[in-house]
Amino acid sequence: MQVTSSVRKPLITGGKTVHDVTEDICKQVEGKPGKLWLMAFGISAVTLAIGLIAVVMTLWEGIGMWGLNKTVGWAWDITNFVWWVGIGHAGTLISAVLLLFRQKWRMAINRAAEAMTIFAVICAAQFPILHMGRPWLGAYWALPLPNTFGSLWVNFNSPLLWDVFAISTYFSVSLVFWYLGLVPDFATIRDRASGIRKVIYGALSLGWDGAARTWSRYESVSLILAGLATPLVLSVHTIVSFDFATSVIPGWHTTIFPPYFVAGAIFSGFAMVLTLMLVTRQVFKLHDYITIEHIELMNIVIIVTGSIVGIAYITEFFIAWYSGVPAEQYAFYNRMQGPYWWAYWSMMTCNVISPHLFWIKKIRTSIAATFILSIIVNIGMWFERFVIIVTSLHRDYLPSSWAMFYPTIYDVGVYLFTFGLFFSAFFLFAKFFPVINMAEVKSIIKSSSESIEEKTAES
Q: Among the CATH numbers 1.20.1630.10, 3.50.50.60, 3.40.50.2300, 1.10.238.10, which is that of 18-137+154-449? A: 1.20.1630.10
Distance CA 56, CA 327 (A): 40
Q: Cβ neighbours of residue 441 under 8 Å, at least 6 residues apart?
A: 12, 21, 107, 108, 289
Q: Are 232 and 240 in contact (CB under 8 A)?
A: no
CA nearest to 418, candidates 164, 171, 121: 121
Residue 6: pLDDT over 60: no
With b for 16 or more beta-carbon neighbours within 10 A and e for fewer, the 332-357 pattern comes to bebbeebebeebbebbbebbbebbeb
Domain locations in the chain?
18-137+154-449
β-partners of residue 449 are 12
Judged on CB neighbours under 10 Å (0-12, 13-18, 19+), 307 is middle
For residue 316, CA distances in Å to 197, 252, 348 come to 55, 10, 13
451 has a pLDDT exceeding 90: no
- Computed from CA positions of residues 327, 333, 338, 340, in that sequence, does the dihedral angle turn out positive or negative? positive
Helices (H), 246-325: 257-283, 292-323
Confidence of residue 8 (pLDDT cuts 50, 70, 90): low
Residue 351's pLDDT band (cuts 50, 70, 90): very high
pLDDT digits (tens, 9 = 90+) for 192-233: 988 899 999 999 999 999 899 999 999 999 899 888 888 888
pLDDT, tens digit, 9 for 90 and up, residues 389-403: 999 999 988 888 899
Q: What is the pTM of this model?
A: 0.91
pLDDT tens readout for residues 18-31 = 888 889 889 888 88
CA angle 284, 289, 290 (to 5 degrees): 80
